[in-house]
Structure 1
Amino acid sequence: MSALVSPRRALVRRATVVAAAAVTLLVTALPEAASAHGSAADPPARAFDCLRRWSDNHQAPEMASQDPMCYQAWQADPSTMWNWNGLYREGVQGNHQAAIPDGQLCSAGRTQAGRYAALDAVGRWKATPKSRNFSVNIFDQAKHGADDVRVYITRQGFDPTRQQLGWGDLELVSRIGNTPAAKWQPAANGVTLSVDADAGARTGHHIVYTIWQASHMDQSYYFCSDVVFPAA
């Protein structure tokens, strides 16, 4: 496990450019929430991913069978998805584990009066295929920049389809410090930041948990992204 991001090689840089372009195309097509902030866009955070797939057809009855986890989230509170870029807490002062109880990591401790509580639901969330060496791309509409970004992945053996996510289920795999928005990559309606991560020998369905501490104030964002790593 590496706590710091290693220097990017040419291949990684090229992959980052491609990923940033894909994020740009994606976020340009999405509706904006009332107050612009941001999200993990690739691999997509749960609310962002549901909106990406269903925003144009969010009342479709087939969602219940084709995408039951997104369906239960839409049924619980549609604003979970419409406000895909507002999953944050204020005043945490970097003490994330004290602010967010086990079982509530994906909703940031039921932040925003419980708007995002459905994201904590255990089940078969759609998972994005990823290689074991990948990047987390954060989209920042408001150009807040970052004081700190931490990327965690669940330990091998954790089953996100049957277990509530707790802090003890996570391992820190990457971290970067102060990165002003001017150093992020330009994107339509904002900027993006790419953080390299190494999943090690992990296989199967995992949760990538990203904490983005914005620079403009003590405002921290929390994202659960479902991924699937290839078999050994």
Structure 2
Amino acid sequence: MPARRKAVVAVLGATPLALTALAAAPAAAHGTMGDPVSRVSQCYAEGPESPKSAACRAAVAAGGTQALYDWNGIRIGDANGQHRTLIPDGKLCSANNEEFKGLDLPRADWPATRVSAGSYTFKYRVTAPHKGTFKVYVTRAGYDPAHSPAWSDLDLDHPVATATDPIASGGFYTFSGTLPERSGKQLLYAIWQRSDSPEAFYSCSDVTFGGRSGSGGTTSGSSPAPSASAPSDEQIEAGADKSTVEHHGHGDASTSADPTTAAVAANEPEAAGTSENLAETGADDSAPYLAIGGAAALALGAAALFASVRRRATGDGGRHGR
């Protein structure tokens, strides 16, 4: 086979490999509300294979167990602030993602965190910190918890918490807010819109008004639903290998002390040295982006080489013909 033809074959062979690398870049998951406990966190804490509460059993029956192992991946990659446009009523908790459809089930018995009106400290469990803004909304008075929430159920004009670029520590973003007067079962809806990407993350947290303000814990007294409880660090680490999304652990200055990120730090020695910079720039999932960029460059280079070889072959043919 002539050298030029071999070059063409090599180029054509490299191009699909480059495109395959583009498609194979891993998805990166980033977090969910930890306090008040989100629905997906609650069901994961109960155990994906055998949930204890009726609501979580129903969620698994509807959507399967994988959604719970992928607990930190309720997201829209190109949201860019267009949340109401992209997420229809009744699908807020899944962010219109079919994998998480079990979280949208209209039930009044979702396990709930007991809260009271007044100041509240929110804790957002994060596995890959990024710059961005958190907004937390509460349902309006009179909300019916037996129905899947719609946008009109939320008091969008008065978020109960707003935080821009909080610092991640110990595996959480922590920020303060104020809960209004409400009674009975309500829902808190959190949106984390990144500023270094159009990507956004969503979570639903069921709450029952009447507990200690700002604690997020349970108190004495009856409740229409079981009390919510967040997964432990050990549970999160134990289920990470069953997730279909990446569980980044860097970007947090306390990476080495956080059990949920220790495994990542052990496999990525450079993470500890660059964690603060990554948290500041939001560049913690640069590896997938670099892989995509490299694959794209390879594809473009292959196309350019093919064109060059073809021009040379055409030119040689013209000379031979004279």
Report whether the alignment pairs 1:51 with 2:36: no
Q: In 2, distance between residues paired with 1:86 and 1:126?
A: 21
Report whether the alignment pairs 1:107 with 2:94: yes
The code of the aligned residue for 2:38 comes to A
Q: In 1, distance between residues paired with 2:57 and 2:175?
A: 30
User: Which has the larger displacement, 83-92 or 134-143?
Assistant: 134-143
Contact 1:103 1:165 in 2 (8 A): yes
Report whether the alignment pairs 1:203 with 2:187: no
Contact 2:138 2:160 in 1 (8 A): no
Question: Which residue of 149, 152, 170 corresponds with 1:168?
Answer: 152
The code of the aligned residue for 2:106 comes to V
Q: In 2, distance between residues paired with 1:35 and 1:91?
A: 14
For residues 40-189 of structure 1, the aligned pairs below 5 Å read 40-55=33-48, 58-59=49-50, 63=51, 66-75=52-61, 76-109=63-96, 111=97, 114-123=98-107, 124-133=109-118, 134-146=120-132, 148-160=133-145, 162-171=146-155, 172-176=158-162, 178-179=164-165, 183-187=166-170
Deviations 1:131-169 (A, max 9, x none): 2232221122112232x2111000111121x22211111
For residues 7-26 of structure 1, the aligned pairs below 5 Å read none
Q: Which runs of 5+ in 1 are unaligned?
A: 1-33
Deviations 1:81-118 (A, max 9, x none): 10000000011221211111111101102x2xx00011
Higher relative strand content: 1
Q: In 2, distance between residues paired with 1:177 and 1:205?
A: 25
Deviations 1:61-86 (A, max 9, x none): xx4xx511100112231011100000
The alignment covers a number of residue pairs equal to 180
Matched residue of 1:168: which SS?
A: helix
Q: In 1, distance between residues paired with 2:116 and 2:69?
A: 30
Contact 2:80 2:193 in 1 (8 A): no
Q: In 1, distance between residues paired with 2:131 and 2:124?
A: 10
1:228/1:177 Cα in 2 relative to 1: closer, same or farther (>3 Å)? closer
Deviations 1:12-59 (A, max 9, x none): xxxxxxxxxxxxxxxxxxxxxx8441111111111111111225xx33
Contact 1:173 1:199 in 2 (8 A): no
Q: In 2, distance between residues paired with 1:166 and 1:101?
A: 8
Contact 1:145 1:216 in 2 (8 A): yes
Deviations 1:169-192 (A, max 9, x none): 10132353531xxx41411xx4x2
Q: In 1, distance between residues paired with 2:186 and 2:81?
A: 24
Calculate percent identity across the aligned residue pairs. 31
Matched residue of 1:115: which SS?
A: helix
Give the structure-2-normalised TM-score. 0.52
Give the structure-1-normalised TM-score. 0.72
Q: In 1, distance between residues paired with 2:36 and 2:126?
A: 15
Matched residue of 1:52: which SS?
A: helix
Query: 2:215 aligns to what?
Result: none
- Aligned CA RMSD, in angstroms, stands at 1.9
Contact 2:163 2:175 in 1 (8 A): no
Report whether the alignment pairs 1:229 with 2:193: no
Matched residue of 2:71: which SS?
A: coil
Q: In 2, distance between residues paired with 1:38 and 1:102?
A: 23
Report whether the alignment pairs 1:38 with 2:31: yes
Higher relative helix content: 2
Query: 1:24 aligns to what?
Result: none
